[in-house]
Amino acid sequence: MKFTRMHRVLLIVFCLFGMGVDAQFNSLPYTGSKLIRLNSFNPELSIALESFQVTYLSCRSHANTPELIVQDDALRWLDAHDISYDLLEEDLKQKIDREQIRMKKKRIHREGSAWYNTYRTYEEVQEKLYKIADENALASSVELGLSFENRKITGLKLSTGGIDKPAVFFNGCQHAREWITVMASVYLADHFVEKYQSDVFIQNLLDVVDVYVVPIVNPDGYVYTHTSDRFWRKNRQSNDSSSCVGIDLNRNWDADWNGGESTSSSTCSDVYVGEEAFSARETQIVKNFMETIPNLKGHLDIHSYSALVLGPWGYTNEVTPDHEEIVRLGESMNNALSNTYNYPYFFGTGDADGALYLASGTMPDWSYDSLGAFGFTYELRPQSWEEGGFELPESKIITACEENYKGTLEMVLWAAGDVVGCTDPDAFNYDAMASIDDGSCLTSGSLDSQTIVLPRGWKMISSNIQPLQPSIEKVLAPIQSGLIVAKNGAGAPYLPQYNYNGIGDVVDGQAYHIKLKNSDTLIVKGLKILSENFEMIFNEGWNMMAYLNETPSDVHSVFSSIKDEIIIVKSSEGLVYIPDLNYNALDLLNPGEGYQIKLRSPISYIYEAE
């Protein structure tokens, strides 16, 4: 069949719809664009590049080695001036198109955690927020107002009611292209609400703190990144007497507004400050809303990318009057983010020791300056363009969301007064300072116990319980009247008559010899030692070991993994197991008993599970 003109038109139309209309358009501005990283940077170079159409990306690298979207003309200029750079992306348009195709495939799955398998559109986010509000008494939706193009700026309030409770405010997406911040904000609300059902600690926490979450404070810009320009940053407000659209929302707040740190008064710039503070419709609306929150303690403005936690001030390296507390909270959030998946974030105030630039007119500086709330910025994953830049791979969305959640949890804890612990005065681990119960209380009812029947005379004993008070006097107190002596593996004695304790505390996994005047029963109370995770450290030669399982098990199966190292295992009664001779009079190992074991070399050994 010959391709007619009609066929060709149909084919093009088909492809457009097949790939998703978005795919054709949000990449279009990047036809022929490349992404580079300059290997050095200075103000002169920055000025020279102004005559080309360049877009700066990651904020961490900006200070020294910026990642830039460029066209061939800029590259030719850099080449001609011998300025070195790495080419990170040969064909930016193709990269964006691929992202759209992946999103389209995954978009249909939206139940449960599948919602976080791909980036979601403005409409999908709205739908999700209303669903969370509908399904959970803890959450209600709040409409902050309408954007420049009349889209709703919607948030969720998580609250159990009451007035003047300490509150925190989390928002994403001041910058349109930072898609992961939208996912992370929705996730944190979703997750708090879910945990409120299942986790006593989160229940107690959210009973005393109100949490506000506004995932998309820049809806027009966000929609624009999906439909027209993947790397759009600003809002979509028109500027008087200029064909250039948009204000950088994070330069439009009234804290050192237009102060000159990473700002521009040119409407075409990506860091355009606006005509005046709050001239952007969205900053005005969000400001008005935040001012109505009575007891706002903390604010977190979520951005990407660079893996940073930033505290105030953002516009200067001078420190705030609350510096110490800001550093404490910042470090704790930074640790929480970093430790979730061992992905290193970096905390700082100001330019964070040169990790990024100062910035005037930012939102967290305003919330700190004007509302007295500790205003922080996160720059979520990734660290660099090579790991995805603004297009953090979909497989990492949940990971970034989890990290972000852990970080925000620290802020909620801090807002609650930071005193979490056991609040039950009858519990062994009662914490008089604690105001929020974290579910850790140990009362006699919640303790595990083990009963060990003891004969008259010598006996080697052990326990699978970790006693709350580990000194051997306390552990053996119930049988003290008949106790002549107890000895540890090294032969050190505890002699109750002489009030001499050469043993000190009992050690998990160890066994002890004791000698009794009469038969007796010992009850050990405390926390069960999880035998399957327990690592025994054995010396070469003789050791005394505890038996940690709750029921008897066969000596072969317990030691199968270290059989070749064992010379002999011996019970209190002198029964032995000698693997080399295939001799076994021991048979079963029993709870409460201790055993002597002689080894060929020092080894560590993870207990076989029951």
**381 forms part of the interface with ligand 0X9 (CB under 6 A):** no
**177 forms part of the interface with Zn ion (CB under 5 A):** no
Q: Choose the one of Zn ion, ligand 0X9, none that binds residue 359, judging by a C-beta under 5 to 8 angstroms depending on kind.
A: ligand 0X9
The conformation of residue 189, written as its DSSP 8-state character, comes to: H
Q: How far is the CB of 539 from Zn ion (least distance, A)?
A: 57
Q: How far is the CB of 251 from ligand 0X9 (least distance, A)?
A: 7
Q: How far is the CB of 248 from ligand 0X9 (least distance, A)?
A: 7
Q: Choose the one of Zn ion, ligand 0X9, none that binds residue 99, judging by a C-beta under 5 to 8 angstroms depending on kind.
A: none
Q: How far is the CB of 50 from ligand 0X9 (least distance, A)?
A: 18
Compute the Cα dihedral for 418, 420, 423, 429 and give only its sign.
negative
Please pick, from the candidates 34, 95, 175, 297, the single residue that binds ligand 0X9 as defined by CB under 6 A.
175
DSSP assignments along 128-156, one per residue: HHHHHHHH-TTEEEEEEEE-TTS-EEEEE
Measured from the CB atom, the residue of 205 and 290 that comes closer to ligand 0X9 is: 290
Helix axes 179-198, 397-415, angle to 10 degrees: 60
Q: How far is the CB of 174 from ligand 0X9 (least distance, A)?
A: 7
**175 forms part of the interface with Zn ion (CB under 5 A):** yes
The phi, psi pair for 417, rounded to 5°, reads 110, 0
Question: Quick one: which segment of 5-13, 167-175, 503-511, 590-598 binds Zn ion (CB under 5 A)?
Answer: 167-175
What is the footprint of ligand 0X9 within residues 459-478 (CB under 6 A)? none
Measured from the CB atom, the residue of 272 and 607 that comes closer to Zn ion is: 272
Long-range contact pairs involving 104-112 (C-beta distance under 8 Å, separation at least 24):
104/19, 104/20, 104/23, 106/394
Q: Which residue has the tokens 């807002």?
A: 415
**310 forms part of the interface with ligand 0X9 (CB under 6 A):** yes
Measured from the CB atom, the residue of 120 and 303 that comes closer to ligand 0X9 is: 303
Total number of residues binding ligand 0X9 (CB under 6 A)?
14
What is the footprint of Zn ion within residues 245-304 (CB under 5 A)? 303
Binding mask 528-547 vs ligand 0X9 (x if CB under 6 A, - otherwise)?
--------------------
Q: Tell me what percent of the chain is helix, strand and coil, each rounded to the nearest 5.
A: 35, 25, 40
Q: How far is the CB of 261 from Zn ion (least distance, A)?
A: 15
**356 forms part of the interface with ligand 0X9 (CB under 6 A):** yes
- Half-sphere exposure of residue 286, counting CA atoms within 13 Å on the CB side? 37
Write the single-letter amino acid at 514.
Answer: I
Question: Quick one: which segment of 46-54, 356-364, 442-450, 492-500 binds ligand 0X9 (CB under 6 A)?
Answer: 356-364
Measured from the CB atom, the residue of 209 and 401 that comes closer to Zn ion is: 401
Q: Choose the one of ligand 0X9, Zn ion, none that binds residue 356, judging by a C-beta under 5 to 8 angstroms depending on kind.
A: ligand 0X9
Measured from the CB atom, the residue of 303 and 570 that comes closer to Zn ion is: 303
- Which of 510, 511, 528, 598 has its CA nearest to residue 559? 598
Q: How far is the CB of 67 from Zn ion (least distance, A)?
A: 14
Measured from the CB atom, the residue of 326 and 479 that comes closer to ligand 0X9 is: 326
**358 forms part of the interface with ligand 0X9 (CB under 6 A):** yes
**62 forms part of the interface with Zn ion (CB under 5 A):** no
Of 67, 261, 379, 391, catalytic: 379
Q: How far is the CB of 133 from ligand 0X9 (least distance, A)?
A: 28
Q: Choose the one of ligand 0X9, Zn ion, none that binds residue 310, judging by a C-beta under 5 to 8 angstroms depending on kind.
A: ligand 0X9
Binding mask 303-322 vs Zn ion (x if CB under 5 A, - otherwise)?
x-------------------
Long-range contact pairs involving 81-85 (C-beta distance under 8 Å, separation at least 24):
83/38, 83/40, 83/45, 84/38, 84/39, 84/40, 85/36, 85/37, 85/38, 85/39
CA distance 472 to 490: 15
Measured from the CB atom, the residue of 179 and 607 that comes closer to ligand 0X9 is: 179
What is the footprint of ligand 0X9 within residues 424-443 (CB under 6 A)? none
Question: Counting Cβ atoms within 10 Å, is residue 597 exposed (0-12), middle (13-18) or buried (19+)?
Answer: buried
Terminal CA-CA length for the chain: 71
Q: Name, in order, each residue with C-beta under 8 angstroms of 432's C-beta and a sequence gap of 6 or more.
A: none
CA distance 488 to 535: 19
Structure tokens given for 426: 């009858």
Measured from the CB atom, the residue of 59 and 144 that comes closer to Zn ion is: 59
Report the residue count for the chain. Answer: 610
Tell me the C-alpha to C-alpha distance, in Å, between residue 7 and each of 4, 13, 14, 431, 536: 5, 10, 10, 77, 74
Q: Choose the one of ligand 0X9, Zn ion, none that binds residue 362, judging by a C-beta under 5 to 8 angstroms depending on kind.
A: ligand 0X9
Q: Which residue has the tokens 């209309």?
A: 21
Question: Quick one: which segment of 124-132, 219-227, 353-361, 507-515 binds ligand 0X9 (CB under 6 A)?
Answer: 353-361
Based on the residue annotation, tell me whether 90 is a catalytic residue of this protein: no
**548 forms part of the interface with ligand 0X9 (CB under 6 A):** no
The conformation of residue 520, written as its DSSP 8-state character, comes to: E
- Which of 453, 450, 406, 425 has its CA nearest to residue 202? 406
- Half-sphere exposure of residue 459, counting CA atoms within 13 Å on the CB side? 19
Measured from the CB atom, the residue of 115 and 257 that comes closer to ligand 0X9 is: 257
Tell me the three state secondary structure of residue 48.
helix
**287 forms part of the interface with ligand 0X9 (CB under 6 A):** no
- The alpha-helical segments, DSSP class H, found in 199-248 are 200-208, 219-227
CA distance 143 to 165: 20
Please pick, from the candidates 250, 360, 450, 488, the single residue that binds ligand 0X9 as defined by CB under 6 A.
250
Please pick, from the candidates 35, 36, 38, 59, the single residue that binds ligand 0X9 as defined by CB under 6 A.
59
Measured from the CB atom, the residue of 59 and 189 that comes closer to Zn ion is: 59
389: alpha, beta or left? (left if phi > 0; alpha if psi -120 to 50): left
Q: Choose the one of Zn ion, ligand 0X9, none that binds residue 358, judging by a C-beta under 5 to 8 angstroms depending on kind.
A: ligand 0X9
Which residues of the chain form contacts with Zn ion (CB under 5 A)? 175, 303
Which residues of the chain form contacts with ligand 0X9 (CB under 6 A)? 59, 175, 178, 250, 303, 310, 314, 351, 356, 358-359, 362, 377, 379
Tell me the catalytic residues.
379
